[in-house]
Amino acid sequence: MAKLRGKALVAQSGGPTTVINSSLCGVVQECIRSDEIEAVYGGHNGILGVLIEDIFDITKETKMTIEGLKRAPSAAAGSCRYKLKSLKESRREYQRIVDVFKAHNIRYFFYIGGNDSMDTADKVATIAGENDYELRVMGVPKTIDNDLAETDHTPGYGSEVKYLATTVMESGRDTEALYTFDAATVVEAMGRNAGWIAAGAAVAHRTEEDAPHLVYVPEIPFSFRKFVKDVKETYKRLGRVVILAAEGLQDGRGNYITEQTGDFAKDAFGHVQLGGVAETLKSIIEKEVGIKCRYNKPGTAQRNAMHFASLTDVNEAYLVGAQAVREAVAGGSGFMITLIRESDHPYQVSTGRANLSVVANGEKFLPRDFMNESGNHITEKCRRYVLPLIRGEAPVTIGPDGLPEYVRFKRYPVEKKAGEFKI
Amino acid sequence: MAKLRGKALVAQSGGPTTVINSSLCGVVQECIRSDEIEAVYGGHNGILGVLIEDIFDITKETKMTIEGLKRAPSAAAGSCRYKLKSLKESRREYQRIVDVFKAHNIRYFFYIGGNDSMDTADKVATIAGENDYELRVMGVPKTIDNDLAETDHTPGYGSEVKYLATTVMESGRDTEALYTFDAATVVEAMGRNAGWIAAGAAVAHRTEEDAPHLVYVPEIPFSFRKFVKDVKETYKRLGRVVILAAEGLQDGRGNYITEQTGDFAKDAFGHVQLGGVAETLKSIIEKEVGIKCRYNKPGTAQRNAMHFASLTDVNEAYLVGAQAVREAVAGGSGFMITLIRESDHPYQVSTGRANLSVVANGEKFLPRDFMNESGNHITEKCRRYVLPLIRGEAPVTIGPDGLPEYVRFKRYPVEKKAGEFKI
């Protein structure tokens, strides 16, 4: 494969994660190590920044800032939920992206995101091809949801689970101490369609005493009657009950058990915005079981908890970022880097690659045998899958004030060259 | 003062904290070091355990378990919210407590709790006196709320704030990355009447960029109109806004801005149970400001977050526990140990003591000058007060599964000797 000299652009998309910046760091440092890549630009707020040519020069940031990305949560380059549609509907935008790349001699495009982002990256590659513009496009997997096809797991998931499991464990100790008063607690996990997060965090349940005592995921239709029975039985046995529930619990007919209405009920991708599963379950427990119930909703804290991240996850996030660059420099394009689990004992992974279009159209759900027959807790199989992903601590720098210190980009702007564009 | 030989009983009360077990460890280890104290018993679930003679022998636990209390969140002996009333109304219960102590030759009573617990301890001391039963009673301060009179601050507060500030900081990075979509986030802090927690966690705001951008506390009457104006101004300036709000926000007439109704609206102490401030503010922001808003409600996770506790707090919690024993053995009774701040630079504390009855009837609110004139953020004075309390990390033991390991008591039961009692 011929060498391709030019600049690289990297962008982040979708919901932040604790380690998406570690992937960014992998991309940037590997670009810096490469002879072919002259500079690394960042798209501010994902593809939005490319469209409006809001681009900054990451190579001008200090080495310390770039290195600090390995321990900074959320998306330092900014993220977005701007949805590009089919080639037919959004051709103007895809063309614009290629035009911006051309204007800056950007020959490498690294997009860190989930399946929607892989779809965007795939279509950008197509349009570049139609334009006879040599562009190497690589996807870097990212999502706390762990629902991407073709990869054993996704960077972001391990840290999400490590933190949430710890939160459930610690909340469980509260209920254990105060069960004579607050006998039940519901912890709400993220997870719109897939139960990976709730199931993952359920590994906190090491013994019968340990929370969570009951776990509910979107893949298994939620039955109010069954739920009340589960809670009553657990309460009878232990005198308390801690429940871990995914936000996207659904009845058997594809309806979320708690749908919001109103202006902001759907996000830009058409996904229904959820909230309120914890409140709903609390209300059921108080009414139907007759015990007082609290609820905790960690919300966005759970996907940015760098102060207690998984070192395995941080390192793998870096690996997929750096590998994307290595493969692109070697001539690869149109792939997302995947993680392949080579073995559990000792835990070993290697990287592979999957066609962007295959990832874009896939969605990976929690296997049924990761949950018990009753559908209210995880199995050993699930535990074996999850545990290697949450191992290792990644201590952060603590400032003199006792709080973590996380880097920020200065964002040195790149001069605009591609003309105006209205989005 | 004559030496007093006998057993000690220690109990924990009220809402758990991250470091209440560190105080328990201080009590237990100091008792073990004392020649006068023959054994340390624990009251299971606070005063409830004493009343029903559900008592266990802590001296039979392993040294490792006892030492492990320094790094275990929540209340290992169990807690309660069982409220004893005035001497007149609850004389039968106070007498029972003294009877149980007599039956076991318990001569030292250490009660770890807040002002309600200090009230209970005070009255137990009175009844023991009336019975001519020599009993030394000491209170050990505990509450995340930091609202106890007579002490510079309370153990539990520093760890609460360190964790919540970090949570707000990390949630803030999420909003910073995704502001083109989710422009606002509300984080709900505990704090029914006092704003110490919300104000404390506001130290995460180191620069204009850093969350929280707005802070609201119960001591300052909440105005919907002012709130909307604050949010609009901040959004205009930064393009995003992260709000930290205490759960107990009130209008100027003493009404919570969100009162729950229903069966569980009040706890056993007659306190109104709160929830929903975050949802309420989210709804106001979406309707009145027209930007999408998320909310995070860490709930009980915030008071049990041992995985990111303040070492200063852990150590001070131990100190007040051990000091209570030292003072009791030296003849003291009827006091709560207090923390006296000797200096900020370097931070130094000493212990003092306050009459239990004075603490019982006091409540310490956030000083007005800890908040700015506008009532929507903290002042430097507040920051200077808070920062020393959140310094230092207290790493926990991580198991082979990547999650914290926290000890539990075996709870070796003590034989009942005091006869039946109905509560």
Q: Where are the domains of chain A?
A: 6-144+307-360, 159-302+378-390
How far apart are alpha carbons B346 and B349 in whole angstroms? 10
Q: How high is the pLDDT of residue B1?
A: 66
Query: CB distance B300–A169 less than 8 Å?
Result: no
Q: Is B4 on the interface with A (CB under 8 A)?
A: no
pLDDT at A257: 86
Q: Chain A residues with CB inside 8 Å of B275's CB?
A: 295
Is A177 in contact with B12 (Cβ distance < 8 A)?
yes
At residue B254, the pLDDT reads 82
In this prediction, residue A262 carries a pLDDT of: 41
B272 to chain A, any CB pair closer than 8 A? The answer is: no
The pTM of the full predicted model, rounded to 2 decimals, is 0.96
- Cα(A336)–Cα(A373) distance, integer angstroms: 35
> Which A-chain residues 305-344 have CB contacts (< 8 A) with chain B?
305-308, 310
Q: What is the pLDDT of residue B274?
A: 47
pLDDT tens column, B25-54: 999 999 999 999 999 999 999 999 999 999
pLDDT band (50, 70, 90) for residue A301: very high
Q: Is the pLDDT of residue A210 over 80?
A: yes
**In CATH terms, is domain A6-144+307-360 a member of 3.40.50.300?**
no
Which residue in B has a C-alpha nearest to residue A48's C-alpha?
Answer: B180
Q: Is A48 on the interface with B (CB under 8 A)?
A: yes
Q: Is A363 on the interface with B (CB under 8 A)?
A: no
Tens of pLDDT along chain B (423 residues) come to: 679 999 999 999 999 999 999 999 999 999 999 999 999 999 999 999 999 999 999 999 999 999 999 999 999 999 999 889 999 999 999 999 999 999 999 999 999 999 999 999 999 999 999 999 999 999 999 999 999 999 999 999 999 999 999 999 999 999 999 999 999 999 999 998 999 999 999 999 999 999 999 999 999 999 999 999 999 999 999 999 999 999 999 988 888 887 644 444 454 555 554 448 998 899 899 999 999 999 999 999 999 999 999 999 999 999 999 999 999 999 999 999 999 999 999 999 999 999 999 999 899 999 999 999 999 999 999 999 999 999 999 999 999 999 999 999 999 999 999 999 998
Confidence of residue A95 (pLDDT cuts 50, 70, 90): very high
* N- to C-terminal Cα separation, chain A: 36
Which of the four CATH numbers 3.40.50.450, 1.20.58.100, 3.40.50.300, 3.40.630.40 does domain B6-154+307-362 have? 3.40.50.450
**Rounded CA separation A187/B304 (Å):** 14
Q: What is the mean pLDDT of residues A147-158?
A: 98
Lowest mean pLDDT among A308-312, A351-355, B280-284: B280-284
Q: What residues of B are in contact with residue A304 (Cβ under 8 Å)?
A: 170-171, 173-174
Chain B residues near residue A305 by CB distance under 8 angstroms: 167, 170
pLDDT, averaged across chain B: 95
Class of domain A159-302+378-390: alpha beta
Confidence at A255, pLDDT banded by 50, 70, 90: confident
Q: Taking residues A92-111, what's their average pLDDT?
A: 98
Q: Specify the fold of B160-302+378-390.
A: Rossmann fold (3.40.50)
- When the pLDDT of each residue in chain A is averaged and rounded to a whole number, the result is 95
Query: Using CA atoms in the order B380, B381, B383, B387, what is the torsion angle rounded to 10 degrees?
Result: 140
Percent of chain A's residues with pLDDT above 90 = 91
Over residues A373-392, the pLDDT tens digits come to 999 999 999 999 999 999 99
- Interface mutation target, options B18, B24, B203, B300, chain A, most CBs of A under 10 Å: B300
Bridge pairing between strands B55-57 and B214-216: unpaired
Q: Does A304 touch chain B (CB under 8 A)?
A: yes
Which pLDDT value is given to residue A1?
66
The rounded distance, in Å, linking the Cα atoms of A249 and A199 is: 13
Of all residues in chain A, the percent with pLDDT exceeding 70 is 96
Distance CA B388, CA B343 (A): 10
Q: Does A298 contact chain B (CB < 8 Å)?
A: yes
pLDDT of residue B273: 46
State how far the Cα of A284 lies from the Cα of A241, in Å rounded to an integer. 14
Do the beta carbons of residue A215 and residue A244 sit within 8 Å? yes
Q: How high is the pLDDT of residue A263?
A: 42
Give residue B259's pLDDT. Answer: 65
Which residues of A does the annotation mark as catalytic? 145
Alpha carbon B371 to its chain's center: 22
Helix/strand/coil (H/E/C) assignment for every residue in chain B: CCCCCEEEEEEECCCCCCCHHHHHHHHHHHHHHCCCEEEEEEECCCHHHHHCCCEEEHHHCCHHHHHHHHHCCCCCCCCCCCCCCCHHHHHHHHHHHHHHHHHCCEEEEEEEECHHHHHHHHHHHHHHHHCCCCCEEEEEECCCCCCCCCCCCCCCHHHHHHHHHHHHHHHHHHHHHCCCCCCEEEEEECCCCCCHHHHHHHHHCCCCCCCCCEEECCCCCCCHHHHHHHHHHHHHHHCCEEEEEECCCECCCCCECCCCCCCCCECCCCCECCCCHHHHHHHHHHHHHCCCEEEEECHHHHHCCHHHCEHHHHHHHHHHHHHHHHHHHCCCCCEEEEEEEEEECCEEEEEEEEEHHHHHCCCCCCCHHHECCCCCCECHHHHHHHHHHHCCECCCCECCCCCECCCCCCCCECCCCCCCCCC
Q: Which pLDDT score is estimated for B270?
A: 52
Asked if the bond preceding B367 is cis, omega within 30° of 0, the reply is no
Residue A81 token pair: 């939920």
Which pLDDT score, from 0 to 100, does residue B144 have? 97
Instruction: Extract the tokens encoding A283.
Output: 């209300």
pLDDT greater than 70 at residue A273: no
Indicate yes or no: CB of B79 within 8 angstroms of CB of A268.
no
Q: Does the fold of domain B160-302+378-390 match that of domain B6-154+307-362?
A: yes
